[in-house]
Structure 1
Amino acid sequence: MNLSITTSIDAKERVTIKVAGEVDVFTAPELRKKLLPLCQDSGTIVVDLSDVGYIDSTGLGVFIGAYKIQQNSNQGGLILTGVNQRLRRLFRITGLQDIIEIEEKAQGDGES
């Protein structure tokens, strides 16, 4: 499956990366290429995963790398948003929800 990545800056000067598709061994390098440089050069990075249904271990590695860069640069933070129940469970099982900030989904989200 293809991966779609768009980038925008909001009124709070936060960089938002909207990801759509599956983040796996084939598509993770594309996400890494977009996300990691932003983590070095920007403040707070928000990654919107509302259109992502699957992340494998390679994809998790991209988020770990982004988190480490943000921690070392002291530029801001890494926030994941739009995380569905399946992905939330993955982040919980791996312990990543304890180190990476995950925003709660909006009310009325019926995804399971």
Structure 2
Amino acid sequence: MQETTVQLMEPKGKLDVTNAAQFRSQVNAAIAAKAQYLIVDLADVGFMDSSGLGTLVAALKAVRSSGAELLVCSLSEQVQMLFDLTSMSKIFKVYRNRQDLVEKEGIAL
């Protein structure tokens, strides 16, 4: 049986135009490593603007086109509000926290 490969990303502070390129390069590294799951834990992201959201959408497309899955967890109140206002909660698989994600997806971190 093949082992499930999981990459965990934990951005800190804010996800906006100032660090979008760094986030993209981390996503590309996860894709290059042939991760089956890319988990983006946003617990420490207190602010996300439209460019940060766009970066996440681009990451979702890139990860899906590689045959992997992108999962998001631990949204702050501000980020959750942004996801709700833009209907991103319908596009992304969003989990309350890491434990919730692990239990529902059946993957180990």
- The two structures have a TM-score, normalised by structure 2, of 0.77
> Runs of 5+ in structure 2 lacking a partner?
99-109
**What is the number of residues matched between the two proteins?**
96
Task: Report what 1:8 is aligned to.
Answer: none
Are residue 27 (structure 1) and residue 2 (structure 2) matched? no
Cα offset, 1:84, TM superposition: 1.4
Instruction: List structure 1 segments (4+ residues) > 3 angstroms apart after TM superposition.
Output: none
Q: 1:89 aligns with which of 56, 81, 84?
A: 81
Q: C-alpha separation between the residues in 2 aligned to 1:13 and 1:85?
A: 30
Q: What fraction of aligned residue pairs are identical, expressed as a percent?
A: 25
Q: Give RMSD over aligned pairs.
A: 2.1
- 1:70 CA displacement: 2.1
TM-score using structure 1 length: 0.75
If asked which structure has higher relative contact order (CA below 8 Å, sep 6+), I would say: 2
Name the structure 2 match of 1:65: 58
Say if 1:23 and 1:59, in contact at 8 Å, map to a contact too: yes
Larger strand fraction of residues: 1
Encode CA deviations 1:37-85: one digit per residue, 9 max, x unaligned.
Answer: 42353210001110110011111111111111122222x2111111112
1:17-54, Cα deviation, whole Å (9 max, x unpaired): 11111111111111111113423532100011101100
Q: Which runs of 5+ in 1 are unaligned?
A: 1-10, 107-112
